[in-house]
Structure 1
């Protein structure tokens, strides 16, 4: 089923992210997974392991966007409070899911590892939630309404997306082209670039400079649109703009 523009938000949960001890890559991989489905990520927030903060963010985002993806806080330790916070946000109880409990018990038995009370905590999901499969470590994520709750470990979060994808309402796919000019300077192209952007309302045009040293710097001009013909017209204008400044650009789809 195709919708003109389903949207998504990502909520990153964890004190370790805000302290800088852990570098997040979940936003990147969620956005990259959703882009071919025509579901742009429109907002990202990061909150600490404080239930009131998680509840407030979840409720704000789920009311604003088609889908919300949370990562982090569903492990076995005392500070893993995301499941409880999601239940509170939806005003429901929380309990061990029988399917999750059965699958996890079997997995730990197969590993000859004790299925302790802390590990059982990972089978707790908000009442009425559906499970999201975790092929990496077994402990599931879950879906509550339009909110998908994933693990914080990037490898596990990425694996969970495969079970979520078929549940999503897709939108018009956004096509992208990059005109990369080594030696380009934003100050030289700003006026003309603004004119190109204003004349093509169906296309989003952005300018992204890079600097890796005196001999390796420039600007990437990135255009995005669901309209392939409009995008091609803008691509030609961006190439012409770069060439007018004496720089032959590289083109990346």
Structure 2
């Protein structure tokens, strides 16, 4: 059986305008990596139902799992729940368990459970709740699509109620050979040869430049095969050393 795969769909006008910087892609990918579920694609769409529906349907047909973030709050532009219902061709209404839990939470806070707040208890029919230990309003799972809040702290907390639902795959191991003073132009040919000779390993080159005396390249190798990864790790070390650089190695 092939490894499960995932996609992330970021929803919100504020992301596309540049007003809000996304970190949810990073959070989801980092959570899934040790489960052996690589994120293969990420899309960002505005708060337009037709755009959300089209993206959800395309991604859920292509990948094992889809994670959406954003658009499940109490305001008029929070339309993700309706879009997910439309994508699956089902109705939407208040979920009794969500209403019960949220009503109890707001009562404990001595806060009115208003109509806008009740909107956050509306789920596509057939969806199951994803717990939200931070603010109470749930995310939800519809088929292979998990719908999370856009607030990073809440999205990360929701992932803890999702991990046990996922089919895991072979764990991807990685190693970083970091060389201060390395230049991509000097190592590109040899690096390409190393990558081509190791089909079970993915090799990437990531330069950094912080100052004239603080720059270099991080060579990152990833594989589900520890032995193949070890061979490439040694080749990357030797490549750096051949260019007069003593590398740092990070697992």
What is the TM-score normalised by the length of structure 2?
0.99
Task: Give per-residue Cα distances to partners, 1:119-140, cap 9 Å, x unaligned.
Answer: 0000000000000000000000
- Structure 1 stretches of 4+ with a deviation exceeding 4 A read none
Give the Å deviation of 1:73: 0.3
Q: CA RMSD in A?
A: 0.3
Q: Distance in 2 between matches of 1:27 and 1:191?
A: 32
1:170-229 C-alpha deviation (Å, 9 max, x unpaired): 000000000000000001001110110011000000000000010000000000000000
Determine helix, strand or coil for the equivalent of 1:246.
coil
> Deviation of residue 39 (structure 1)?
0.2
Work out the number of aligned pairs and report it: 249
Asked if 1:57 is matched to 2:55, the reply is yes
Report the TM-score, using the length of structure 1 for normalisation. 0.98
Matched residue SS, 1:247:
coil
SS at match of 2:57: helix
Query: How much does 1:57 deviate?
Result: 0.2
- Structure 1, unaligned stretches of length 5 or more? none
SS at match of 2:99: helix
Which consecutive residues of structure 2, in runs of 5 or more, have no partner in the other structure? none
2:196 is the alignment partner of 1:194: no
How many Å separate the matches in 2 of 1:179 and 1:247? 11
Q: Distance in 1 between matches of 2:120 and 2:189?
A: 55
Note the alpha carbon deviations across 1:63-111, whole angstroms, 9 max, x for none: 0000000000000000000000000000000010000000000000001
| Aligned equivalents of 1:174, 1:112: Cα separation in 2 | 47
CA apart distance, 1:20:
0.6
CA distance in 1, matches of 2:95, 2:136: 13
Provide the C-alpha distance between the structure 1 equivalents of 2:139 and 2:73, rounded to a whole number of angstroms: 10
For residues 58 and 207 of structure 2, the distance between their equivalents in structure 1, rounded to whole angstroms, comes to: 33
In structure 2, what is the Cα distance between the partners aligned to 1:84 and 1:61? 17
Provide the rounded CA distance (Å) in 1 between the counterparts of 2:75 and 2:150: 13
Whether 2:183 is the aligned partner of 1:155: answer no
